[in-house]
A and B are shown apart, each in its own frame.
Chain A
Amino acid sequence: MEARIGVFICNCGGGMKNIDFDAAGAKVAKIRGVTCVNLISDLCLEEGTEKMAARIRAENLDKVVVAGCSPQFKEHVFRNVLENAGLDGHLLCMANIREQCSWAHDGDVTEKAVDLVKMAVYKARLLRPVEKQDIAVDRKVLVVGGGFSAVASALRLSRVGLRPTVLEKEAVLGTSSEELQRFYGFDVSSMIGAAEGDANIEVLTSARMTAAKGAAGDFLVTIMREGEEISRKYGAIVFATGYRTELALDSGLGLPAENEAVSGPKIVSQEQLFDMLNDPFTDTKPRTIGFVFGFSDENSRFPTLATLNNALAAKKEWDSEIYVFCRDVEVDSEGVEKLYREARECGVVFLKCEALPRIAVDNGRIAIEAEDVFLGEDTVVACDLLVAEELLFPTEGTAALSSLLNIRLDSRGFYQDENVHLYPVASERKGVFFVGGCRGDLDMGRVLTDISSAVMSIDKLLSSGTITAEIERVKADPQKCVACLTCIRVCPHGAVQLGRVDGGKEIAVIADLACDACGICAAVCPAKAIDFQGYRDDQLLAQIEAIGES
């Protein structure tokens, strides 16, 4: 049966002056398969959509083409119109005659507009509906890690009515959060107390995740705890595994490799300095302290924060003279601009250097030599204490953990923080999120933002207990699939697995909830077994056909 395609052409309230709509309409009416052409201005406004729905019903249309603005802009509106008129939203195809035709060219573009509509009509003929279904999901969430981010996430998840499990590899929660507590005033221990006392939150310590499979809403996770293997189902997984730091001793910073080799003067990390400052029994009072940071990494948010806090404390406790050698003071975290100003006001000297400072031990003191770009001359400072550059690394085991779920790490080994298209806390796999230090250089303000974003996404995903999924929009044909595994290897979202449908042979089975509809599998499948409604081969080729005829 020939399709009944209705074309709706919108002039965008007169916003496309270089198209002759009457002439275009007349030409479009002659395209094969077009049942009716409707010129309606302001199609996306209420009056327009009502007229459109009425025409769909009156003409008994089974496919719809809308010619007007970009589908990026209003496709969802017109899909709704179809749904309201009793048609599946996937039976719509749009011709972008505004952004990519009228507005992109000078002079009359009626002919091009007709071409674009023709492409859409040719594709529309081949469209098929996509079934929707509510799929039940698990409301439990696994939070891997037991630091500040993990505990705060669990508390928030519990508050929105979900059921988190906190999985920490150490015997107690919060082992790496002590400095946060003592120095930055975050009350981590009462947070941990609250989490441990929360009936919705399960805490598993000395435990590790050893295997995981499944997809958003339905992950099956294996946990090893004190030699015992536990299997659990989770709707979502949050990684909050933190970071670790290392003193950049012999990494080309010109520092003496062995700390002990320097007798008298000392080279310490931010954390060691912090401990010295908080040691009530010490009588060391370094007269001059030098800080060096920001030469090994583009980001210097952490070191900026640590330096400012420590420098202020050292001024207060010891009244030391303080020199900071750095490339950039990064003050874009909350409150840091103020800290920086305070530090300057109480006499901390900042030297901006492009090149790495040269460091030598001289007469029992440490000499730091560098060219300040503003002064334009070499400055030498002799210190009693050097707070050296620290490097930031992902927690050990991050790579192994990510490979369990086939998740990529960024160029520094952290969970992806570089891909601008992925929502910062979301991974390429639906239902898997990252928060906190495991994403790299994060201050507490950003960690809190992360937690909110992740909890919000998880709430949206799981709170109703079901997710509406498009069923088999992308599907491998059991007759054609030869189980070559190519699609399983290439799917960037881990959505394909080998399985049996109705007890038949093993074939590629695509998890509807995990699939992000990219079509990469459809392109690589050597058997051309994968159909992707909306972007099937024949639907793409039909558009080329239309261009060929014009």
Chain B
Amino acid sequence: MNGRIIAFCCEHSAYPAADLAGKLGLHYPETLRIIRVPCAGRVDVIHMLRALEKGASAVLVLGCEDGACHHITGNIRARERVKHCDMLLREIGIDGRPVVMFNLSPNAPHKFVKAANEITKIIKESREAR
């Protein structure tokens, strides 16, 4: 899937933020592929791992800001799961492709774009380091 970034976006914050980025013409890398989820807490380790298995260069999980998750604890659960997944990957020493969680609010398109740019930068740096 040459260099695709898979971003799981919750429909209460991240997904509308991505929409707003488009509406405002704030550009981000074309390699991003968004999968809509009802809550970041829906995303399981299997989804992140499968994305990497299928060749994604990075996995993003994007959910609501702290204390403002529509499903109260969904974003916290997601963050812990992302951490867990990252730890698993490090432990078995896979090639260091990043799995990262970001929090944002639906009216923060710039934060969405920043997340997309940041992850792209991380991918580039880790590729160069190898």
Output the nearest chain B residue to A522 by Cβ-Cβ distance: B42
Which A residues are CB-close (under 8 A) to B108?
none
Q: Does A241 contact B (CB under 8 A)?
A: no
Which B residues are in CB contact (< 8 Å) with A501?
none
Within 8 Å of chain A (Cβ to Cβ): is B58? no
B interface, size bucket:
35 or more
Q: Which of B16, B43, B44, B47 contacts A72 (CB 8 A)?
A: B16
Distance between Cα atoms of A545 and B1 in the complex (Å): 10
Residue of A nearest to B45 (CB): A523
Most A CB contacts (10 A, CB to CB) among B12, B18, B26, B35 go to B35
B6 pairs with A547, CB closer than 8 A: yes
Collect the chain A residues with CB atoms within 8 Å of residue B23's CB. 99, 103
B30 & A109 in contact (Cβ 8 Å cutoff): yes
Is A104 within 8 A of B28, CB to CB? yes
The contact of B4 among A102, A103, A522, A547, by CB within 8 Å, is A547
Give the residues from 59 to 79 in chain B that come closer than 8 angstroms, CB to CB, to chain A.
Answer: 64, 67-74, 77
In the complex, the answer to whether A523 meets B19 with C-beta atoms within 8 Å is no
B51 close to chain A: CB less than 8 A: yes
Q: Are B72 and A492 in contact (CB under 8 A)?
A: yes
Closest chain B residue, CB of each to CB of A94: B36
Which of B1, B64, B81 contacts A548 (CB under 8 A)?
Answer: B1
B130 contacts the other chain (Cβ, under 8 Å)? no
**Closest Cβ of chain A: how far from B45's Cβ, in Å?**
9
Stretch at the interface among A305-313, A463-471, A511-519: A511-519
Beyond A71-B36, A72-B11, A72-B15, is A523–B77 a contact (Cβ under 8 Å)?
yes
Within 8 A of B (CB), among A90-130: 96, 98-106, 109, 112, 115-116, 119
Contact A523–B67 (Cβ < 8 Å) = no
Chain B residues with CB under 8 A of A541: 46-47, 50
A72 to B18, CA, bound (A): 11
Within 8 A of A (CB), among B1-58: 1, 4, 6, 11-13, 15-16, 18-23, 25-28, 30, 33-39, 41-44, 46-47, 50-51, 54-56
A180 at interface by CB-CB < 8 Å: no
Tell yes or no: A300 within 8 A of B by CB. Answer: no
Contact of B35 among A103, A419, A422, A544 (CB under 8 A): A544
Q: Are B18 and A99 in contact (CB under 8 A)?
A: yes
- Give, as a whole number of angstroms, the nearest-CB distance from A546 to chain B: 9
| Complex Cα–Cα for A101 and B25 (A) | 11
In this complex, the member of B6, B42, B81 whose beta carbon has the largest number of chain A beta carbons within 10 angstroms is B42
Give Cα A517 to B27, complex, Å: 31
What are the residues of chain B within 8 A of A492 when measuring CB–CB?
71-74
**B112-130 CB contact bits vs A (8 Å, 1 = yes)?**
0000000000000000000
Q: How far is the CA of A520 from the CA of B16 in the complex (A)?
A: 20
Q: Which of A408, A523, A547 contacts B42 (CB 8 A)?
A: A523
> Which B-chain residue is minimally distant from A541 (CB atoms)?
B50
List the A side residues contacting B39 at CB < 8 Å: 518-520
Report if A105-B27 is in contact (Cβ < 8 Å); known contacts: A520-B41, A544-B51.
yes
Chain B residues contacting A103 (CB-CB under 8 Å) are 22-23, 25
Contacting residues, chain A, for B19 (C-beta < 8 A) = 70, 72-73, 96, 99-100
Instruction: Establish whether residues A547 and B74, one from each chain, have CB atoms under 8 Å apart when the complex forms.
Output: no
Q: Across the interface, do A428 and B72 meet the contact criterion of CB distance under 8 Å?
A: yes
Which B-chain residue is minimally distant from A105 (CB atoms)?
A: B30
Q: Closest approach, in angstroms, between the C-beta of B76 and any C-beta of chain A?
A: 10
A283 at the interface (CB under 8 A from B): no
Residues of A within 8 A of B81 (CB): 523
Contact of B41 among A73, A98, A518 (CB under 8 A): A518
Structural contact, A490 and B70, CB atoms closer than 8 A = no
B69: shortest Cβ distance to chain A, in Å? 7
Chain B residues, CB < 8 A from A119: 33, 35
The reply to whether A535 and B16 form a contact with Cβ atoms under 8 Å apart is no
Nearest Cβ on chain B to A73's Cβ, whole angstroms: 8
Residues of chain B contacted by A58 (CB below 8 angstroms): none
Known: A99-B18, A109-B30. A517 touches B38 (CB 8 A): yes
> In the bound complex, what is the Cα–Cα distance between A106 and B12 (angstroms)?
26
Q: Which residues of B contact A70 (CB under 8 A)?
A: 15, 19
Contact B69 A540 (CB under 8 A): no
CA distance A493 to B26 in the complex (A): 35
- Inter-chain contact A520/B34, CB cutoff 8 Å: no
A160 to B53, CA, bound (A): 57
- Docked Cα-Cα span, A102 to B46, in Å, equals 30
Q: In the bound complex, what is the Cα–Cα distance between A422 and B21 (angstroms)?
A: 24
How far, in whole Å, are A517 and B72 apart by their CA atoms in the complex? 13
Partner of B67, one of A418, A518, A524, A540: A418
> Can you sample 14 A-B contacts with CB below 8 Å?
A70-B19, A99-B23, A420-B68, A493-B71, A522-B44, A523-B43, A524-B77, A540-B47, A544-B6, A547-B54, A547-B56, A548-B1, A548-B55, A549-B1
Apart from A421-B64, A540-B35: 12 A-B pairs, beta carbons within 8 A: A72-B19, A99-B18, A104-B27, A418-B67, A419-B72, A422-B70, A519-B37, A519-B39, A520-B73, A537-B47, A544-B54, A548-B1
Binding site for B on A (CB under 8 A): 70-73, 96, 98-106, 109, 112, 115-116, 119, 408, 418-422, 428, 490, 492-493, 516-520, 522-524, 532, 535, 537, 540-541, 543-545, 547-550
**8 tightest A-B contacts by CB?**
A548-B54, A519-B42, A99-B22, A421-B70, A103-B22, A518-B71, A492-B72, A520-B41
